[in-house]
Amino acid sequence: MTTDIVLISPHQPKTAKILRTASGITQPLSISYIASFLIKNGYSVKIIDNDIENLTPIDLETRIRQFNPISVGITVSTSSTNTAIEIAKIVKKINGEIKVIAGGIQPTILPHILLKNNEIDICVMGEGEITSLELLRAIKYNRDISEINGIAYKKNGEIKITEPRKLIDNLDELPIPAYELLPMNRYTLPASRRLTSYPIASVITSRGCPYLCKFCSHNTVFKNKVRFRSPENVLEEMKYLRKKFDVREFVFWDDSILLDKNRAIKIFNMIKKELPDIYFTCSSRVDHINEGIAKLMYEAGCRMILFGAESGSQKILDSINKQITVGQTIKAVEICRNNKIMSFCSFIIGTPEETKETLEETRRFVLKLDPDFAIFTIFTPLPGSYYFNRLINNGEIDIGSANWNDYINLLSSSAPAASVNSDLTKEELVYYQKKLFRDFYLRASYILKRIKKIKNKQMFYQTIRGVKAIIKLEANKFYE
């Protein structure tokens, strides 16, 4: 028996080993949405989330053979480009007639990087649900694909790119992601973000972001346009997850859950009324939170908010077009503290305008800010971002020789991907990153505060895992 398509989330490279400890692994929503959309339209689909299963090449080959697919779709981030190509080679080894489709941010921005490999046949550029449906229909019934919007493909050795795919207007029309095809009990968050011992699930209530931060590549797919799911649609998914998989801990992956405050308030009120026994974490811009909405969020089960603080230097915030102030970050953390919500602030160091002086500003700032958790990442020029395009135009990045394994956008165990800062060497950035982690987490006052928050064995073990993550980062020697 054949399967119409197997969708695969590749394992991350070894350079992401620290990232995995620090961020955990949650459900691959992009391919899960595509899977449910294809199933709704009558096609047979399987998912292999090799990011969580971590199958050996031999075991992965065996699994794909068992499914006997006519096509394979691989979601490709920048850092998983090389592992995705390895998977494509395995597929073609099984059967050269299987069509291999690459989708995600990397194929959207740099389709020629994928298509120069003989093992990859087609790239989906942009939002994937409708394009994947049309492609699968064409592949299954041996039809021409040249009129399908939103793809890149090879014809007679030449790469062809079709018209862009329009974004889906009404997200409520999409079915709930195909969670039933995933190993739901295996997903987890890092020690610092676990709220319960129950299964977790990731949910996204909107797509897109209206802001244009120079380091970010998210809008490459969603074109700076924001679309929202209705509160009722969001609650339907959450109640399904609660009933089907006993999920009581949710992660909202929206860029900022509070972009539309009225909609967010309605979601929180519905959670408070209809799912009183769940907890959740989410992300927000520091300029979106206020006392009233934080109070409601806590009552609805919010126990942690992630903020992109980015820097303690206003000069750097302005240079990256973040459109926030350091004062707003201070206020956001204070609001969380007032409402018993943990704050988790992320910082980026080493943007092109960074100096030793601005790094020291950030160090002093985060120690004074004293959020519950902080993470410090070395700037990576991600394809699709303003900085990446500028570096390409200036000849400072050679796409042809780029090692995509090094393009980890959070914590990498390799040296920084590119030298983009004239004032700071790669070695200096690594030194400052470690110093920031040390100075923040190894303070006596911070350690005492964390010990006081340990209420049970679960929290104790979570804390131990968090300590191990810091030790791994500190001891890291980097790959050559």
Give the C-alpha separation, 51 to 59, whole Å.
Answer: 14
Q: What is the pLDDT of residues 397-417, one digit of tens each?
A: 777 777 776 665 554 445 555
Give the C-alpha separation, 215 to 205, whole Å.
Answer: 23
Q: Say yes or no to pLDDT of 16 above 50.
A: no
The neighbouring-strand residues paired with 311 are none
Domain ranges for the chain: 3-161, 188-475
Q: What is the pLDDT of residues 89-120, one digit of tens each?
A: 999 999 999 999 999 999 999 999 999 999 99
* pLDDT interval class at 1 (50, 70, 90): confident
Q: Tokens 């009558």 appear where? A: 42
Of the candidates 40, 35, 117, the residue with the CA atom closest to the CA atom of residue 69: 35
What percent of the chain is modeled with pLDDT above 70? 87
Give the C-alpha separation, 452 to 122, whole Å.
Answer: 54
Q: What is the pLDDT of residues 114-147, one digit of tens each?
A: 999 999 999 999 999 999 999 999 999 999 999 9
Token output for 398:
């050679």
457-470 core/surface letters (b: 16 or more CB in 10 A; e: else)? eebeebbeebeebb
pLDDT (average), residues 429-448: 91
Give the C-alpha separation, 447 to 466, whole Å.
Answer: 12
422-446 core/surface letters (b: 16 or more CB in 10 A; e: else)? eebebeebbebbbebbeebbeeeeb
CA angle (116, 417, 128) in 5-degree steps? 50
* pLDDT interval class at 478 (50, 70, 90): very low
Q: Say yes or no to pLDDT of 152 above 80.
A: yes
Q: What is the pLDDT of residues 207-239, one digit of tens each?
A: 999 999 999 887 777 878 899 999 999 999 999
Residue 453 is predicted with a pLDDT of 74
Domain 188-475 -> CATH class: alpha beta
In one-letter notation, the amino acid at residue 99 is: K
Of the candidates 71, 67, 81, the residue with the CA atom closest to the CA atom of residue 115: 81
Please give the C-alpha separations between residue 300 and each of 202, 284, 445, in angstroms, as whole numbers: 17, 16, 30
Query: Maximum Cα–Cα distance for the chain, whole Å?
Result: 66
What does residue 299 show for φ and ψ, rounded to 5 degrees? Answer: -65, -30
Q: Say yes or no to pLDDT of 193 above 80.
A: no
Give the C-alpha separation, 142 to 148, whole Å.
Answer: 14
pLDDT (average), residues 170-196: 88
* pLDDT interval class at 13 (50, 70, 90): low
Q: Of how many residues is the chain composed? A: 480
Q: Report the CATH architecture of 3-161.
A: 3-Layer(aba) Sandwich (3.40)
Please give the order of strands across the beta sheet that includes 158-161: 45-49, 5-9, 71-75, 99-103, 122-124, 151-155, 158-161
Residue 475 is predicted with a pLDDT of 59
Residue 382 is predicted with a pLDDT of 85
CB-count exposure of residue 61 (10 Å: 0-12, 13-18, 19+): middle
Give the C-alpha separation, 230 to 208, whole Å.
Answer: 15
Give the C-alpha separation, 9 to 399, whole Å.
Answer: 23
Is residue 80 within 8 A of residue 407, CB to CB? The reply is no
Measured over the CA atoms of residue 298, residue 304, residue 307 and residue 310, the dihedral's sign is: positive
Please give the C-alpha separations between residue 178 and each of 27, 83, 87, in angstroms, as whole numbers: 10, 24, 22
Q: What is the pLDDT of residues 71-91, one digit of tens each?
A: 999 999 888 899 999 999 999
Residue 479 is predicted with a pLDDT of 37
Average model confidence (pLDDT) across the chain:
89
Give the C-alpha separation, 11 to 429, whole Å.
Answer: 27
Residue 464 is predicted with a pLDDT of 66
Give the C-alpha separation, 41 to 451, whole Å.
Answer: 52
124-143 core/surface letters (b: 16 or more CB in 10 A; e: else)? bbbbbbbbbbbbbbbbeeee
Give the C-alpha separation, 260 to 79, whole Å.
Answer: 31
